């Protein structure tokens, strides 16, 4: 991929910043942020110390909420085209088959278009994001390493090494460290990476070919896991469209095995019962130990952290990469707003909202790992003889998938949730569900996500009564307004859509007259009845500039009314 210039080199440190945002690290988090900022017209520079994107499978599963993020960014169709949601997982205990678990069986719903994890190697995800960045007119600056930076009140001044070995001074309004667990940005800020490294949980990893074994069969990607009574583990996970598998094998704490194909072959021979199969064509080899760490703040003035630079997770549950992608999605619109004159305190809502999510993801992935690797004979018996066979039941499997899907992540008690109503199924801080609609102007079907897609705020008016006092011409330019009605007849002069088959009504349970203000990242910010344009503008332009609203405070104290969770 050729580099698209990001602007003229900037050598003075006392001039106007040459770029708006300097992003360090072109992994999934950094690329997501770069795509989001670029589509918003932000001058973002994405630097990467490596000469190219690495071909490593690493985080190989995209959760449903991340797929919705990629939908908004214009990448999801390519991801679905190269990935696979259906899985066939076979578990063995001491060489004998223990259970066979089908996964990825949930059907799309009107409110949830992507209900399953999509298996796709991380290198493919980053390639597709980099391609999207290129389509938007930007690119990664490879062979460019951050050497140092200093942050002032008005800008961040960074020194980077260039591909020819030279040095360049870059001045940016903000700097975001997406540079992984060994982040130079985090170390420069001297932020404690609190947590632990478990030396008893160590693994050899690799992307390999297994002759005679096919990663995909009958429209499903295959996985195998061999569990030993001694606590050993060896797993194979098929990598769609590659002919390869990701292999992972536990090693003992005192074993200094290097990540080589020969070492993996020895562990394969010992644990699988297939010594005649010879692993080959390794394209990536690595070692891994379980780390559970995070910082206690994601922001220091004009410098912010996202992804693995801020939190690292055990691989169980597929939370790490997905949490990083959603960090970037939460941060992107807020950075763009501040660059366009919004109160800088909006950026304080980024750690306020995302720190609890990281804590939850760390706890969830650690709990799953503790269950899977527990060496207590009674616990191991319960897992292997009771829990794992239960997972072969589709209904149980769907529930487990839903628990790790990140769809239920929300910011109810955060600083950007303001509620003037009671009842309803979706309240401020919740993810805005999808719905099936019809555009009255064209007669064509569309999704609610089609209305939300893009960098704007969206004001949904439920029924004609919601637009009674609203002067749409007085709304801020970044607010797109749409009336949702059960029938075609309406006096509203703006965009009108019909609630096809009642899917919006069932998903939201919003009473006629309700107005729903949805943030650029697809979360409900504010609910009210027949609002005025000045009230809408106040919430858009003043978001994050004030303490949590009184309604949210009442909910935290337990005095507010609950919301309706009746099934529709």
DSSP code for 3: P
- Residue by residue, pLDDT tens for the chain (568 residues) are 333 332 323 333 344 568 999 999 999 999 999 999 999 999 999 999 999 999 999 999 999 999 999 999 999 999 999 999 999 999 998 888 888 889 998 999 999 999 999 999 999 999 999 999 999 999 999 999 999 999 999 999 999 999 999 999 999 999 999 999 999 999 999 999 988 777 777 899 999 999 999 999 999 999 999 988 888 889 999 999 999 999 999 998 777 788 999 999 999 999 999 999 999 999 999 998 888 899 999 999 999 999 999 999 776 655 789 999 999 999 999 999 999 999 999 999 999 999 999 888 877 666 665 555 555 565 555 556 556 666 666 666 566 666 667 788 899 989 999 999 999 999 999 999 999 999 999 999 999 999 999 899 999 999 987 777 889 999 999 999 999 998 776 778 889 999 999 999 999 999 999 999 999 999 999 999 999 999 999 999 999 875 544 433 333 333 333 334 333 2
**The pLDDT value given to residue 552:** 38
Q: How far is CA 368 from the centre of its chain?
A: 19
The SS3 of residue 482 is: strand
Q: How far is CA 146 from the centre of its chain?
A: 25
**The pLDDT value given to residue 466:** 79
Residue with tokens 């990598």: 239
**The pLDDT value given to residue 516:** 97
Query: Cα angle at 433 between 430 and 435, to 5 degrees?
Result: 155
CATH 3.40.30.120, the chain: domain bounds: 418-557
Q: Is 233 left (phi over 0), alpha (psi -120 to 50) or beta?
A: beta
Integer Cα distance of 405 and 104 in angstroms: 12
Return the exposure string of 461-492: e unless at least 16 CB atoms fall within 10 Å of the residue's CB, then b.
bbbbebbeebebeebeebbbbbbbbeeeeeeb
CATH 3.50.50.60, the chain: domain bounds: 19-195+292-404
If we measure between CA atoms, which residue out of 406, 311, 401, 325 comes closest to residue 359? Answer: 311
- Residue 527 tokens read as 């609910």
Q: What is the CATH number of domain 19-195+292-404?
A: 3.50.50.60
**The pLDDT value given to residue 15:** 46
Integer Cα distance of 157 and 25 in angstroms: 17
DSSP code for 385: I
Residue with tokens 């770029």: 19
Extract the runs of DSSP E, i.e. beta strands, from 421-475. 436-439, 445-447, 457-462
pTM for the full predicted model? 0.89
The answer to whether 15 and 9 have CB atoms below 8 angstroms apart is: no
CATH 1.10.3720.10 for the 418-557 domain, yes or no:
no
């Amino acid at each position: 991929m050729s580099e698209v210039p990001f602007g003229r080199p900037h050598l003075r440190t006392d001039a106007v910043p040459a770029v708006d945002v300097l992003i360090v690290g072109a992994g999934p988090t950094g690329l997501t942020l770069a795509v989001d900022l670029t589509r918003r017209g932000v001058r973002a520079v994405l630097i990467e110390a490596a000469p190219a994107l690495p071909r490593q499978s690493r985080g190989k599963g995209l959760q449903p909420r991340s797929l919705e993020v990629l939908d908004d960014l214009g990448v999801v169709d390519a991801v679905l085209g190269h990935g696979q949601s259906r899985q066939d997982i076979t578990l063995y205990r001491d060489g004998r088959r223990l259970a066979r678990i089908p996964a990825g069986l949930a059907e799309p719903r009107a409110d949830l278009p992507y209900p399953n994890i999509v298996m796709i190697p991380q290198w493919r995800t980053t390639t597709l994001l980099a391609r999207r960045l290129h389509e938007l007119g930007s690119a990664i600056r490879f062979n460019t390493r951050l050497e140092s930076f200093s942050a002032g009140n008005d800008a961040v001044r960074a020194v980077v090494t260039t591909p020819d070995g030279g040095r360049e001074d870059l001045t940016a309004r903000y700097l975001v460290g997406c540079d992984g667990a060994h982040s130079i940005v985090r170390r420069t800020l001297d932020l404690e990476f609190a947590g632990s490294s478990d030396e008893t949980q160590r693994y050899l990893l690799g992307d390999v070919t297994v002759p005679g074994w096919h990663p995909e069969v009958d429209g499903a990607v295959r996985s195998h896991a061999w569990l030993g009574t001694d606590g050993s583990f060896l797993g194979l996970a098929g990598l769609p469209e590659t002919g390869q598998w990701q292999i992972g094998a536990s090693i003992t704490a005192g074993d200094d095995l290097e990540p080589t194909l020969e070492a993996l072959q020895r562990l394969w021979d010992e644990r699988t019962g297939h010594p005649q199969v010879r692993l080959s064509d390794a394209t990536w080899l690595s070692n891994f130990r379980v780390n559970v760490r995070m910082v206690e703040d994601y922001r220091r003035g004009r410098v912010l952290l996202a992804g693995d630079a801020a939190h690292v997770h055990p691989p169980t549950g597929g939370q790490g990469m997905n949490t990083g992608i959603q960090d970037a999605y939460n941060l992107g619109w807020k950075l763009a707003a501040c660059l366009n004159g919004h109160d800088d305190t909006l950026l304080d809502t980024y750690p306020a909202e995302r720190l609890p999510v990281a804590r939850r993801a760390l706890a969830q992935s650690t709990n799953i790992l503790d269950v899977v690797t527990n060496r207590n004979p009674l616990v191991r018996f319960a897992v292997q003889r009771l829990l794992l066979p239960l997972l072969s039941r589709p209904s149980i499997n769907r529930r487990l998938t839903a628990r790790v899907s990140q769809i239920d992540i929300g910011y109810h008690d955060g600083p950007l949730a303001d509620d003037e109503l009671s009842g309803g199924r979706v309240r401020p801080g919740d993810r805005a569900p999808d719905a099936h609609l019809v555009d009255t102007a064209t007669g064509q079907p569309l999704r609610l996500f089609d209305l939300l897609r893009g960098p704007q705020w969206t004001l949904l008016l439920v029924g004609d009564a919601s637009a009674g006092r609203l002067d749409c011409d007085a709304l801020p330019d970044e607010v797109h307004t749409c009336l949702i009605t059960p029938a075609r007849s309406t006096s509203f002069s703006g965009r009108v859509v019909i609630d096809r088959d009642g899917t919006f009504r069932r998903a939201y349970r919003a009473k006629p007259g309700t107005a729903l203000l949805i943030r650029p990242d697809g979360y409900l910010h504010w609910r009210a009845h027949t609002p005025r344009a000045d009230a809408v503008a106040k919430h858009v332009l003043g978001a994050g500039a004030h303490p949590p609203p009184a309604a949210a405070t009442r909910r935290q104290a337990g005095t507010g009314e609950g919301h309706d969770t009746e099934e529709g």
